[in-house]
């Protein structure tokens, strides 16, 4: 499976965050280390903070980068290849749990039953 979309997405999101002044902080000390004096920050998903006046644009740009990454992945791989990769990556064949796989496949328009069916074929192989 071609994974260039992962690196492209990571690079795009890093650039968006750098350009907007966004960063991740999971404690007060991390926030104090990275925050710029006089800037008001908005909390975004997953512990990200961005200057309040750039928060919407930052999230819009990140969502666009994710959508482009998904489109690139689908241009270079079949949906079954993508699902198999994510199942293996999240150790679903060992645990039988597809919750993390489903989260990773958000945006791919797949159902739990599709993923479970492919997991079952992986068990049969």
The pLDDT tens digits of the residues spanning 25-53 come to: 999 999 999 999 999 999 999 999 999 99
Residue ranges of domains in the chain: 1-76, 78-125
Cα 115-121-124 angle, rounded to 5 deg: 145
pLDDT band, very low/low/confident/very high, at 5 (cuts 50, 70, 90)? low
DSSP 8-class letter at 77? S
Provide the 3-class DSSP secondary structure of residue 3: coil
- Across residues 14-30, what is the average pLDDT? 97
Q: What is the token pair recorded at 62? A: 């990140």
Distance from CA of residue 84 to its chain's centroid?
Answer: 17
pLDDT band at 7 (very low <50, low <70, confident <90, very high): confident
Q: Write the CB contacts of 36 (distance below 8 Å, at least 6 apart in sequence).
A: 21, 51
Residue 123: is its pLDDT beyond 70? yes
Contact 54, 21 (CB under 8 A): yes
* Confidence check: pLDDT of 24 > 70: yes
Q: Is the pTM of this model over 0.85?
A: no
82 C-beta neighbours (distance < 10 Å), count: 20
pLDDT band with cut points at 50, 70 and 90 for residue 57: very high
CA dist 73 to 55, 82, 118, Å? 27, 8, 18
């Amino acid at each position: 499976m071609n994974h260039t979309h992962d690196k492209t997405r990571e690079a795009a999101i890093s650039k968006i965050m750098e350009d907007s002044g966004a960063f991740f902080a999971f404690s007060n000390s991390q926030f104090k280390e990275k925050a710029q004096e006089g800037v008001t920050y908005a909390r975004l998903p997953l512990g990200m903070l961005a200057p309040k006046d750039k928060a919407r644009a930052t999230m819009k740009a990140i969502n666009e980068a994710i959508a482009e990454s998904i489109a690139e992945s689908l241009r270079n791989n079949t949906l079954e290849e993508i699902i198999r990769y994510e199942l293996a990556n999240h150790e679903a064949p060992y645990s039988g749990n597809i919750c993390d796989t489903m989260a990773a496949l958000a945006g791919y328009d797949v159902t739990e039953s599709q993923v479970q069916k492919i997991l079952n074929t992986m068990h049969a192989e």
